[in-house]
Structure formats: structure tokens, C-alpha cells
Chains A and B, each alone.
Chain A
Amino acid sequence: MDSWRGNLRVFWTLFTPGTFWLLIFFIIPLAWMFGISFSEKTSITETEFTGTLANYIRSFDAIYLQIIWKSIWISVLATVFCLLLAYPIAFGICFVPVRWKPLLLLLVILPFWINLLIRTYALIAVFRSQGYLNLVLGWVGLGPFEMLYNDGAVIMGLVYVYMPFMVLPLYATIERLDRSYLEASLDLGGSQFQTFWKVTLPLTMPGIITGIILVFIPCLGSFLTPDMLGGANAIMIGNVIERQFKSANDWPFGSALSFLLLYVTFAALALRAYLAARSTGADV
């Protein structure tokens, strides 16, 4: 790797476009929004920067606090279910004969590339009162159940949408795990369960943490899934933010809420960096 001073012309040529874009169209808008979160509305489309904390304080109103709390526990549940499903899959893919691995991975990842909207929409047809699931349940005399427009539907929708995102980091970390550790544990007398609990799990923890963060954060900020599957009963932070910008037109408040989301994101990333620096497992 060369030092940047070694070839200034090339360095600056390559450095500028990306940095320009990042700066102007990513950092500055975020910084701007940061400023607006401390502003007041003066008219429908205008705001004045006053350094006020009113917007942040408002987000701690009972009504919003409740929504924030719901968003958090829905995201936590969705993340946990994702983990419980994704771990066996990732683990299994690591232990099948080599020629099957790329195919199985592709099959798991492929749905992820299909539009979020379409995948969530497909779930509507499955879950609604006249949907497929109720149809199948009807064949055995059960239901029909109200499966849409509640928290459960949102959680299932989130799991459905983000599960492939959990599989990848898990797969990467389990794949890099030296099999001899598992063999040594078995050889020394450990059962399959003990081997998993005392050896596999601790050594794949970095991948688990990465996966958790990669799923938890988008879940927290999602608004499409709760909107389509939750209806009026399952509102999350993302929905509230959306409303501030599309209908309620309260940009300062919406900015403050967005930044709350960002703070949580940064905290999660910092946590991961801290845990990664401390762990001895396979790093992802």
C-alpha cells in the first residue's frame, strides 16, 4: 500500500468524487437535519433555528414514548426470531457438502434482493382474513384468524423481510470456525449440546452481534412493514417520522425523532466495535 503523498495527483483525482458526494449529499443533509431538530416551526415550510430542545422533549411525551417503546420491543422480538431461525440455517449450510453451499446460500439470499415492498405485499395476501393461510387452516377446520393489522403481523413481516440479512454474517463467522474446536470438545467428552453451548456459541459471537445489529437497526427504522401489515394498530417510530414529513409537516419534530434513531444506531455500532475489540472469536 502506498502512502498518499507518494502520488498526490492520482490520490486527489480518486479521492474527490466519492468524498464530494458523501459530503454534499450525505453528511451535509444530516448535519442540516441536526440543526433543524433544534429549530422551531415558523410557518408551513419555514423553520427558524433557535437551539431549542422542545422537539426532543416532545418526543418523550407519553404518546410518543409509547410508540418508541413499542418500536423497540417489536424490533427486539423480530431480531430474536430472526436469530433463532437464521442460526440453524447458517450452521446447516456450513456443514453440507461443499458443492451444495453456493446454491443454498443463493436460495436464502435471493428473496432479500426482491423489493421490500413486494415481499411485504405478498405477505398481505397470505395473512389476511381471506388469505392463503386462513384458507389452508380452513381445510383442517381452524380459523379464520385475524392475522393482519396487529403487532404480530408486523413482527412476522419484519422477520420475513430481514432474515436473509441475519444469515450472511452468521454464515461468514461459522464458516471460519475451525472444526477442530468442535471435534476437540466432542473428543473430550462433551455432548453435542455442550459443544454448541460452550464452544460454538462463544466463538461465533462476533457474527451473532453483527447480525443482530444489521437486523435490529433497519427494524427500528422501518415504516413500510408496519404501515402495510400493522395498519392503525401497530405504529412504529418510522411511521411517526414519515407523517411529520408527509402530512403533519412538522419538520423540526421529525428531525429530532430521526436523530433519536441515529443515536441508537451509533450506540449499537459503538457497542459492536467495543465487543469486537474484546472478543477472541472469528471476526466478521
Chain B
Amino acid sequence: MAEPIIALRNVTKTFPGGVKAVDDVSFDIDQNEFFALLGPSGCGKTTLLRMISGLETPTSGQIIIGGEDMALTPPNKRPTNMVFQSYAVFPHMTVADNVAYGLKVTGVPTEETKRRVAEALDMVKLTHLAARKPDQMSGGQRQRVALARALVKRPKVLLLDEPLSALDAKLRDEMRLELTRLQENVGITFIIVTHDQDEALSMASRIAVMDKGAVQQIATPSELYEQPTSRFIADFIGKVNLINATVVSSTPKKLVCDARGLGRIELPHDGRAAGDIAIAVRPEKLKITDTQPKAAKKISTEGKVRDVAYYGDTSHVVVRCKDDLELSVNVQNDSRVGGSGVERGQKVWIHWAPEDTLVLTE
């Protein structure tokens, strides 16, 4: 297997005042990955990105880029380039001059500069705006200038800080496709930082979820969603129903526990678990029926519908069950006439497959 393009080893950053923004982070990023750093604000993801770019330095640890430890290398000597959250397109230069900047300051000959700038502008479809000044352009256009400006330098790694956050919904979808397509075409590693899980899940090939300066889990989007390793991750990514439970017995194939509101249930599970844990199930895995389900192998419970929130294509139904357990169910409104099929106050049954249950020991 090829060497990782970026290897972080025990990277820590402590700000004056004792705040640990990044706490002993170690992981690898492979070449040509579309990698995401995801987490709530203040989790350290932006600080980590900036340390990879060289705009901040770690208090301790190694940042190995392309095989070389560059933790203390100044940013202009690193094979990385960044697209800033505010785009930072130089207001006193035209688009073409902006894109040419990185080449001019590193002494690239004029002929080659012109050629590469034209290529880059063509890649982001801004050739017709080459002579414009940034203040006459929209936010989306300025972002593309920032992209072209960074990509024209042919970095090994492109860093993007919250690339979609300043865009409106429609532009966001366009840009999402654009970025994924770009990454495939250009064939370099992209690292994005975002607090928006939709962004991360839909664009990245692997995601590192961070909280309080530490990495919680690194996995592909579907692994993160369907196999979260902790309560925090299960709750942070998508919606989830968390249920407290106590382990009764645990074998390499099966877990038996007493779950609040469900009674004693059996779940397929490999690995040990003991004591108090949480089990969880995603709202779209739950099915609502108005009669008790007959299928034997399902986990089921009954309750009363407390609230139905209509979202057009789905409805979120909250059902109150035994022991004050509240379950949130995503129902597809698959009929124009029937709607979600349930209403407030109605008595319903909820069931789901045991293998759709997550077992969270942390």
C-alpha cells in the first residue's frame, strides 16, 4: 500500500492560558482521498487544518507531509494550499492576477504562468471573468477564484475550510457536486473541515469526527452512520433514538440486555459488553403499525403518538412508549392521499429488526 500523504503523530496544540485545542491526535490520510474533519464548533478541527497548512504550529507532535516532518515548516514551503472560509480573494487584484499570484511569487516564468492560469480558470469556468475585480463578483464566484488560485499551484493536498457554509442551499448542492468532480479529475487529496454532517457524509470518502480536541472515530460515511462507536458519534451524525440498557449476558455472538421501555431483548453483537450501556436505533429503521406485529424476530413495543411533524417527503413521528421511552420514527409519506398514516393520540406499535440496533458501550 502506498505511503500516506499526511501522517499526524501525537499532534497537540495548547494555547496560552492552558486551553488544549488539539489533544494528541494521530492518524493517516491516504493519497487521493477526499477526507473530512467533522465536529461541533470548538472541537479543534480548524486548528488541525491550519496546522497542516502551516498557519499554526503544534506545541508538540509531528506533521509528516509526503514523508517529511513539516510541523515547523513555514506555510509557503509546504506542498499544501488552502481555500479559506472567507475565500480571501485579494480585493486589489483582478481574478487573473489573483490566480497567478502563487505562481508569480515563486518565480514561475511568465509564459508558463499565463498558460496555467488559463487552464485553472477554465477548470472552474471563470475564463470570462478573468479581468474582473472581486468586489464585482458574487460569493460563489469568488470561491471559485479561490479554488483556481489554490489548484493552479498543483499542491499535493488541498485544504478547504468550511467550503459550503457561506452558500445558499441551491449553490451548496451545485458546489458539492463540483468539488467531488474536481477532486476526481485533478486527482489530489482534498481535506475539508466542516461542522455540517450532510456536507461530510455526501462528499468525503473518509471522515474523522472530532470533539474537544480529540478524534472520536475515523470511518467511511456509511460506517460512521451505521456503526458509530460511541454515543457522541451516534447522536452527532444524523438522528438517533438512544435507549439506556443494562447488560444481562454477553457472548461473542449475542447480547442480552434489559432495555428501558422494551424489556428484555436479544441483539446480535460481536464483542464484549457489560454493565450499563446504550442501545440505539435510527428513526428510518423503525416501522409503525396500528396492530401488534406478528413477526417473531422483531423488537417491538407499543405506545401513543405524541407528535407528527410534517416535512413534505417524510414525517417525523414521536411516539411515547412504556417507561416514558420516546421513540422518533421517520415515516415516508409514500401516498399523496394517506400522508404519514398516523395522527396525534393514536395508539400504535413500533417494531424493528434486532440487527438494526446499535450497541454503544461508550
By CB atoms of chain A within 10 A, which of B91, B133, B146, B153 has the most?
Answer: B91
Q: A180-B84, A186-B76 in contact; A203/B91 too (CB < 8 A)?
A: yes
Q: Chain B contacts of A184 at CB under 8 A?
A: 82, 84, 88, 90, 146, 149
A187:B55 contact, CB within 8 angstroms: yes
B76:A180 contact, CB within 8 angstroms: no
A189:B105 contact, CB within 8 angstroms: yes
Q: A178-B86, A198-B105, A280-B133 in contact; A187/B81 too (CB < 8 A)?
A: yes
Q: How large is the interface on A (under 10, 10 to 19, 20 to 34, 35 or more residues)?
A: 20 to 34
B149:A183 contact, CB within 8 angstroms: no
- 0/1 per residue, A196-220, Cβ < 8 Å to B? 0011001100000000000000000
Shortest distance from the beta carbon of B101 to any chain A beta carbon, whole Å: 6
Residue from B55, B90, B153 within 8 A of A189 (CB atoms): B153
Q: What number of A-B contacts does a CB cutoff of 8 Å give?
A: 70
Number of interface residues of B (CB under 8 A): 27
Q: Which residue of A lies closest to B85 (CB)?
A: A180
Q: Chain A contacts of B149 at CB under 8 A?
A: 184, 188
B86:A203 contact, CB within 8 angstroms: no
Q: Decide yes or no whether A281 CB sits under 8 A from chain B.
A: yes
Q: Decide yes or no whether B241 CB sits under 8 A from chain A.
A: no
Q: Given the complex of chains A and B, what is the CA–CA distance between A203 and B92 in angstroms? A: 7
Q: A183-B55, A280-B133, A280-B135 in contact; A189/B102 too (CB < 8 A)?
A: yes
Q: Chain B contacts of A189 at CB under 8 A?
A: 76, 102, 105-106, 153
Q: Given the complex of chains A and B, what is the CA–CA distance between A219 and B252 in angstroms? A: 88
Q: Chain B contacts of A180 at CB under 8 A?
A: 84-86, 88
A185:B101 contact, CB within 8 angstroms: yes
- 0/1 per residue, A229-242, Cβ < 8 Å to B? 00000000000000
Shortest distance from the beta carbon of B81 to any chain A beta carbon, whole Å: 6
Q: Decide yes or no whether B228 CB sits under 8 A from chain A.
A: no
A188:B102 contact, CB within 8 angstroms: yes
- Mark A residues whose CB is within 8 Å of B: 97, 178, 180-181, 183-191, 194, 198-199, 202-203, 279-281
**30 chain-A/chain-B pairs, Cβ below 8 angstroms:** A178-B88, A180-B84, A180-B86, A181-B90, A183-B75, A183-B88, A184-B82, A184-B88, A185-B105, A186-B54, A186-B55, A187-B54, A187-B80, A187-B82, A188-B76, A188-B101, A188-B153, A189-B76, A189-B105, A189-B106, A190-B76, A190-B102, A190-B105, A191-B105, A194-B105, A198-B101, A198-B105, A203-B92, A280-B91, A281-B91
Q: A183-B82, A187-B80, A189-B76 are in contact. List 6 more A-B contacts (CB 8 A).
A: A178-B86, A180-B84, A180-B85, A184-B146, A187-B54, A187-B150
